[in-house]
Amino acid sequence: MHMQVRPLKLAILTVLALPLSAVAASPGMSSAAAQRAQGLIGVPANTKVLQRADDDGFIAKDSVVDADGTEHVRFDRTYRGLRVIGGDTVVTSQRGLMKSAQMTLRTKLRPSLAARIDKDDAAVEAGARFNGKVQQVFSNELVVYARGAKPVLAYEVTLQGDDTRQHSGFVTYYIDANNGKVLDLQDQIQTAAAVGTGKSYYYGNLSIPTDQKSTTKYDLIDTTRGNGSVYDAKGATVSNVLDILLATLGATLYTDSDNVWGNNTTSDRATVATDIHYGVGVTWDYFKNIHGRSGLYNDGKGIKSYAHTTFRTSSGGTSGVNAAYVALFKSMFYGDGDASRGYGPVVAIDVAGHEMSHGVNAATANLAYSGDAGGLNEANSDIFGTLVEYYTNNAADPGDYRIGEKLRTDGTALRDMYNQAADGRSFNCYITGGFDPNQSDGAHNPHYTSGVANRFFYLLAEGVVVPAGSGLTPSQLVCNGDTTIAGIGRDKAGKIWYRALTTKFTSSTTYPQARALTLEAASELYGAGSAEYNTVARAWSAANVN
């Protein structure tokens, strides 16, 4: 049910020429904090901490300032003008002194920038892995790929077309510029093959904020939450950038003459629009009221949502059993489900919470969509989608740790966070050596590897408590036999996770690193050695992350 287009690399090319001293302040970030952190990067004593090479550049992306004045500033890294994939870092400082720098990069060595193969060869290698008809090479540029054991020169090739494997048709490959080997691949439209006063479809009659233009004209715009709006996409297919652009251009804003929207059935096209409007609103409220975040990008701006969209399937057809957050357009897209397959409209609360949390990730850690980071990316959305559902506390859709259960007419869920491996493909327990970025289109798909972090979060929040009706035993909830874990509650667990995501995780964070960083977050929030800190450690161990 998930789909997200991550920000296109082309979108940041215009700032790569900034000198080391420049700071590009994004909406919602403190430019003063960014300037101070940039100054600390230039201090020679901090070179080793940052694994900074002489020709590295740093571009400020986001900042978080704590109540005690501690500043966390996130930077993307370049090397001689090339983007360093996996080189991003979070600089934490207080009173002008750098306290730490979070990153995955572990060396200041940089590769030679002399490529042995050209970009056309790289495109051919990517096309061979694409396994389908390539319609367009969307981008092809040299980068420094630093997610592996050591940084290497690589081509970042994004292909658009009809892929016959598990892809959406819009995929980025990292190709070693010396030998043509595929290092990593990431689906830019992130889908799950399994899924596939308004009168709403799922939640009955709701009071919803709208924008009154006249006595006989109302727009489905939420003026109380950054002017978020809902459009009718009229069945347009969301598959690649061109499709999405055409879908948005052809969509129309929902308007009404009497401010009554829908009729509780799909016979009225505005019915599911009210579910969407509601879900977007409660997700905004959760992040605002619990974490102090104003909008996905913390800039006070709402998003556009598009009802009645369809999505390309791996078999080449289309389906309404999906939903997506598209970061390039900062927009949400929702499918109508498929009654013949037992799926209702994909507009439930945890759907909105899940997909919009892809946007929060894109604005902060920007976790990659492969390897361990891919699992953390998907789990991040499941975690916040679940917390939004609990926060909303709607009797028609009570909070639980089951994803998408409202959509299924038979009452089953797309996955259970505490036992995701029940689907026969996902992982409950971390594996030796971690998850392979080069297998993100197969056995190590992020939707499968997310089960590790989902299990961790369930145990952290709830402890070893067998969910009613699951048929599980306590020993089946853990990977290491530790059945006496007592949870710390959803509120504390969510705050620990949010702090780690926004001030510590980077694009290539691994599961072991996530353990260390959430422990650091727990220590900052509740104290080293606290019950919360110790439970974080035990919950990770119970998912085999040590």
Active site residues: 355, 447
49: left (phi over 0), alpha (psi -120 to 50) or beta: alpha
Tokens 């019915």 belong to: 271
Tokens 């495109």 belong to: 123
List, in sequence order, the alpha helices (H) in 450-545.
451-462, 490-503, 511-526, 531-541
- Beta strand 304-312 with 237-238 is parallel
Q: What is the token pair recorded at 490?
A: 């959803």
Q: What is the token pair recorded at 25?
A: 């302040």
Distances (CA, A) of 396 to 24, 203, 226, 260, 351: 45, 6, 27, 21, 15
Residue 282: which of 397, 170, 131, 421 has the closest Cα?
397
- Beta strand 304-312 with 331-335 is parallel
CA–CA separation, 59 vs 24, rounded Å? 6
Residue 266: how many other CB atoms lie within 10 Å: 16
**Cβ distance 339 to 287 under 8 Å?**
no
CA–CA separation, 166 vs 163, rounded Å? 8
DSSP secondary structure, 258-273, as one string: SS-B--SSTTSTHHHH
DSSP secondary structure, 441-465, as one string: TTTT-HHHHTHHHHHHHHHHHHBS-
What's the N-to-C CA distance of the chain in angstroms?
31
